[in-house]
Chain A
Amino acid sequence: MRELKLMKGNEAIAEAAVRYGVDGYFGYPITPQSEVMETLMAMRPWETTGMVVLQAESEVASINMLYGGAGAGKRVMTSSSSPGISLMQEGISYIAGAELPCVIVNVVRGGPGLGTIQPSQSDYFQSVKGGGHGDYKLIVLAPSSVQEMADFVGLAFELAFKYRNPAMILSDGVIGQMMEKVEFDEYKPRWTDEEVVKNNPWGTMGKTPDRERNIITSLHLQAHEQEAQNIKLQAKYKEIQEKEVRYEEFMCEDAEYLMVAFGSAARIAKKSVEMARAKGIKAGLLRPITLFPFPFKEIDAFSDRVKGILVPELNAGQMVEDVKLAVNGKVKVEHYGRMGGMIFSPDEVENALEELIIGG
């Protein structure tokens, strides 16, 4: 029996983390995601599941606490918003290099710089193309509802541990701040110390006489060793690309025009599709759920079927580059965006479809 609540996306992240059996949350407050830590503090999970909730002195400290906790094989997570995530990039690169699982939630606000506290999707590049230094990838999930905010906590941890790779939940101020109905699973117990050791034999949980010591590092001074590590990482990313693509289609069966949108923009675009359909325009929506791995093949499958693709995003045009890569010039692709925390309305997007794609 799942439990039904009315909650903000940020609150759902916190509730889901406790219920999933997360071992530690380390964070630093920033709008529009401060409710994540506020909810955790109010829940006092250290008294029930034993989960640690700690306000660090900065985002740099939070991400390095994650590095330590993840190195010991624990389920650890943090959340922040754009400027805070920028501060974490060095640590994220180290965690990716050392191949450790953890979950990072970014409730994006407008930038660059301190920017605005209003919603934006302008951290797409930072999330899927690097952000920190070196050749690495995060597994990136883009929730578009409060339910997905809750569900993706567990999914992100599962994928992170399966591939020993940091996973990011890329949300924004719309999904973080709005309330919707959300259903939760029963509480799951945290891993015992024995389970941590058994499930994560690579973790630094104390050396036993029967094995060599485990070393967690992202430092390989010999170039050939670093290259070997890079080759291993790239093989892993290829496997993730092959096996873990997730997306959702809405009214795509007979679509002549396609929209590709993620997260909050996908919610707005869904209504735009309904509006277009009401006018007799056969529009459809493909919503990438994983931004890495990106549904390249699945979007390319529409190249021969549709007359044009519109990519509405709350940014200056970021995911549109990946959509263009996917279709490789076979069909017209245009971007429509608002920036700096401004949010387009469903009819603005529908108009853009008519002007840029159908009439353009």
Chain B
Amino acid sequence: MKEEIIIAGFGGQGVLSMGKILAYSGVMQGMEVSWMPSYGPEMRGGTANVIVILSDESISSPIVHEFDTAIILNQQSLDKFEKAVKPGGLLIYDGNGITHHPTRKDINIYRVDATAEAVKMKSVKTFNMIVLGAYLKLKGVVEMENVLKGLKKSLPERHHHLIPMNEKAILRGGEIIQEISVVE
């Protein structure tokens, strides 16, 4: 198994930390992982992205320009990365603020309204975990048990009291992905 993922959105949306939790979950599952951030002059409000690769075998290049999955959290990133999904691949996007929706017919497109859901849950900061939960529901690349271990590993100890809240968000993401429809 090898899964090449790009996660892209605004800086401050938790793009890099979502990638880190995913990567740590892979480590907990005994997989090879790489996490390669765009570390440019991005800042809060600018764009941020990270390439995460999870694999049963050793990873040659941590940098790839085509992805099995794109997790997209804003319009700029959708414009940039829709075309980078491999044919037959998966694109998940948050509908919040999206005016030009994805149009490709040769990939599987899902929408998760995580921003709206996070507001409903009164837990805006766990928005990225809702998205992660949605992704994991569609592609169970890592077991939930290992995701929780990964979460624990990647959060500093002083934030460990937030783990139940994050877990709830991950599970909710898995639930609401049922409610969304494949975009025609």
Residue pairs across A and B with CB atoms within 8 Å: the count is 66
Contact B60 A270 (CB under 8 A): yes
- B59: chain A residues at CB < 8 Å are 180
Encoded as 1 (CB less than 8 Å from any B CB) or 0, chain A from 144 to 180 comes to 0000000000000000000000000000011001111
Could you tell me the dominant secondary structure of chain B's interface residues?
mixed
Shortest Cβ gap from B65 to chain A (Å) = 4
- Give residues 53-68 of B contacting A (CB, 8 Å): 59-65
Q: Does B73 contact A (CB under 8 A)?
A: no
Q: Does B144 contact A (CB under 8 A)?
A: no
Contact B37 A177 (CB under 8 A): yes
Contact B36 A267 (CB under 8 A): no
Contact B32 A181 (CB under 8 A): yes
Encoded as 1 (CB less than 8 Å from any A CB) or 0, chain B from 31 to 64 comes to 0111111011100000000000000000111111
Partner of B60, one of A178, A180, A267: A267
- A181: chain B residues at CB < 8 Å are 27, 32-33
- Interface residue tally for chain A (C-beta within 8 Å): 24
Contact B39 A117 (CB under 8 A): yes
- A180: chain B residues at CB < 8 Å are 33-35, 59, 62
Shortest Cβ gap from B70 to chain A (Å) = 16
- B137: chain A residues at CB < 8 Å are none
Shortest Cβ gap from B87 to chain A (Å) = 15
- B60: chain A residues at CB < 8 Å are 267-268, 270-271, 274, 346
Q: Does A234 contact B (CB under 8 A)?
A: no
Contact B33 A178 (CB under 8 A): no
- Give residues 249-275 of A contacting B (CB, 8 Å): 264, 267-268, 270-272, 274
Of A174, A272, A274, which is in contact with the most chain B CB atoms at under 10 Å from its CB?
A174
CA distance A177 to B154 in the complex (A): 16
Of B23, B33, B35, B61, which is in contact with the most chain A CB atoms at under 10 Å from its CB?
B61
Q: Does B168 contact A (CB under 8 A)?
A: no
Closest A residue by C-beta to B65: A345
Q: Does A4 contact B (CB under 8 A)?
A: yes
Contact B62 A174 (CB under 8 A): yes
CA distance A174 to B32 in the complex (A): 17
Supposing A6-B33, A32-B39, A117-B40 touch, asked if A179 and B20 sit within 8 A by C-beta, the answer is yes
- Give residues 148-184 of B contacting A (CB, 8 Å): 153-154
CA distance A94 to B74 in the complex (A): 52
Q: Does B93 contact A (CB under 8 A)?
A: no
Contact B61 A178 (CB under 8 A): no
Contact B63 A343 (CB under 8 A): yes
Contact A179 B35 (CB under 8 A): yes
Contact A271 B23 (CB under 8 A): no
Contact B24 A178 (CB under 8 A): no
Supposing A6-B24, A118-B40 touch, asked if A178 and B64 sit within 8 A by C-beta, the answer is no
CA distance A48 to B37 in the complex (A): 32
- A177: chain B residues at CB < 8 Å are 36-37, 39
Shortest Cβ gap from A352 to chain B (Å) = 14
CA distance A343 to B33 in the complex (A): 20
A-B contact pairs, 14 of them (CB 8 A): A6-B23, A6-B27, A6-B33, A174-B36, A174-B62, A178-B37, A179-B20, A179-B34, A179-B36, A181-B27, A181-B32, A181-B33, A267-B63, A346-B64
Known A-B contacts: A174-B62, A181-B32, A271-B60. Give 5 more (CB < 8 A).
A6-B153, A32-B39, A174-B63, A267-B61, A346-B64
